[in-house]
Amino acid sequence: MKTRIVLLTFLLTTCFAHAQAKKWTLESCIEYALKHNISVRQTELDTEDARINKSDAIGNFLPTLNIGMSHSWNIGLNQNITTGLLENQTTQFTSLQGAVRVDLFKGLQNVNTLRRANLSILANRYKLADMKDDISLSVANGYLQVLFSRENLEVARSQYAVTEQDLKKTEELVESGVVPKGDLLEIEATAATQEQQIVNAENELRLSRIALAQLLLIDDYDNFDVADEDFMLPESDILENSPRTIYNKALTFRNDIKFSEANVALAEKDLDIAKGALLPTLSAFYGYDTRISYQDRIVGTGDFELIPIGLVPSTEEQVVTSREISAIRGPLPFFRQWTQNDGHSYGLQLNIPVLNGFSAKNSVKRNQVNVERSKNQLEQDKLDLDNAIHQAWNDTRAAYKSYEAAGKALEARQGAYNYARERFNVGLMNSFDFAQAQSRVDNAEAEFVRTKYDYIFKLKVLEFYFGIPLDEL
């Protein structure tokens, strides 16, 4: 028993340690999100529903076959086939019917319905792919936010480590009488402020991880974290392409545009189906029915008897006639009645629409409106894409310039801080001015980190419009 407990504890500890050690890459985050996202699963069901609709469309070309069977009891006043009199009795009958019908011409509605079903499957695929694109962008943004928060925390900790060194150095200078004690208090205040910044950065990192985990539908926030990788600034020549070049390429593969184009094709096919309702329809039919009775029958025996029917007036000689002697027999065998009582019907049926309350014509007009609406939506989607690409191109260029400016500012602030530190160490600068120099370099470093990840994300968005995948940074 103890051995089992130890083994179980070991296995649980191993699994827990493995769960803690798991680090999520951007590729794994995107893959997991696309697999577990509820909206994606719902759209996949829509695609499956479209496949079922295609099966219905194929079925419209097949004949319809219906078979019916009934068994009835007639209780009450019925004709007795033996005596020919009306009597209170119970009779039983079984009837079978079969009917086959096939459309020969239906205004091309069946053909257009099948084509529409194929278009619907394609449209749902584009819709699903477009949704996955949006989710991928959201995951990439959340992933980069975690990286930014983590690097921001590292910057805050590095700054605090430098301040701790300055604090120790200032304590020595105060003890030696080189600088006043007020300078030490100023450095201590700076260290306290940086400790608060570390706490805020830790909280921001935790919130960014939670936000990404929620996007992935993961509720184990404590053990969720992204991979420990140092993402350098990616090299890209995407800005060498004009927004119009990127837009023209995006039109060839963007799923949102293809989805809008598929909706136009669907609307046009709905219009064709509506027009088919104005044309005549021709169908062929065949019917079969039979009836089986369980009632006794009057049948001839083959023997005859002479029956008087009157007298000859002149001779009063009796006049007789021969009549077959009848007998009561049971019903004929089931399958014999089946073939003996069956009947067939077949023919063609032509329906010509003449007046139906303007429903068919109004349906055509309504679908014409839908076609125009779909075309307008396609144009609007293209305009939105054009605007989004121009905005993304401008944002990327501005973010890169901001990143370059932040780098230059950080370099300058770092040089000024080093110079101020040298002066402070020899007592040529007071603690307030030194704290201001340190604060400026801290802000410059934080701004450099922010502009770096802002540029990375905007760059990936622009590359995404150009057809470059997001799964790698």
pLDDT in tens, 259-269: 999 999 999 99
Tell me which of 11 and 296 has the higher pLDDT: 296
Q: Given this model, what pLDDT does residue 365 score?
A: 93
Q: How many helices (H) and strands (E) does the chain have?
A: 10, 6
Contact at 8 Å (CB) between 149 and 141?
A: no
CA atoms within 13 A on the CB side of 368: 7
pLDDT at 290 over 70: yes
**CB–CB of 146/208 below 8 Å?**
yes
- 94 forms beta bridges with 71, 292
Region of 347 (left: φ > 0; alpha: ψ -120 to 50; beta: rest) is left
Q: What is the pLDDT of residue 320?
A: 76
Backbone angles phi, psi at 283, to 5 degrees: -135, 155
Residue 83 pLDDT level (bands cut at 50, 70, 90)? low
- Measure the CA–CA gap between 167 and 187, rounded to whole angstroms: 6
Q: What share of the chain is helix, strand, coil (3-state, %, to 5)?
A: 65, 20, 20
Identity at 230, one-letter amino acid code: D
pLDDT-derived band at 423 (thresholds 50, 70, 90) equals: confident
pTM of the model: 0.75
CB 401 within 8 A of CB 262: no
Three-class SS of 116-179: HHHHHHHHHHHHHHHHHHHHHHHHHHHHHHHHHHHHHHHHHHHHHHHHHHHHHHHHHHHHHCCC
- Total number of residues shown for the chain: 473
Q: Is the pLDDT of residue 246 over 60?
A: yes
Bridge partners (DSSP) of residue 292 are 94
Beta bridge partners of 348: 284
User: What are the tokens at 369?
Assistant: 């409106």
Percent of the chain with pLDDT over 70: 91
Contact by Cβ (8 Å): 328, 298 = yes
Burial class (CB in 10 A: 0-12, 13-18, 19+), 321: exposed
What pLDDT score does 193 carry? 87
Q: In the prediction, which pLDDT does 80 show?
A: 59
User: Is residue 424 scored above 60 in pLDDT?
Assistant: yes
Measured between alpha carbons, how far is 242 from 256 in angstroms, rounded to an integer? 21
If we measure between CA atoms, which residue out of 277, 248, 284 comes closest to residue 386?
A: 248
Measured CA distances, 24 to 60, 147, 297, 461 (Å): 50, 12, 87, 21
User: Please, which pLDDT band fits residue 471 given cuts at 50, 70 and 90?
Assistant: low
In this predicted structure, what is the pLDDT of residue 319? 76
Rounded distance between C-alpha atoms, residue 437 and residue 453, angstroms? 25
307-345 pLDDT per residue, tens: 787 777 777 777 778 787 777 777 778 778 777 888 889
Q: Over 50: is that where the pLDDT of 1 sits?
A: no
Q: State pLDDT tens for residues 164-223.
A: 887 887 787 778 776 677 777 887 888 888 899 899 999 999 999 999 999 999 988 888
Q: How far apart are CA 454 and CA 402, in angstroms?
A: 9
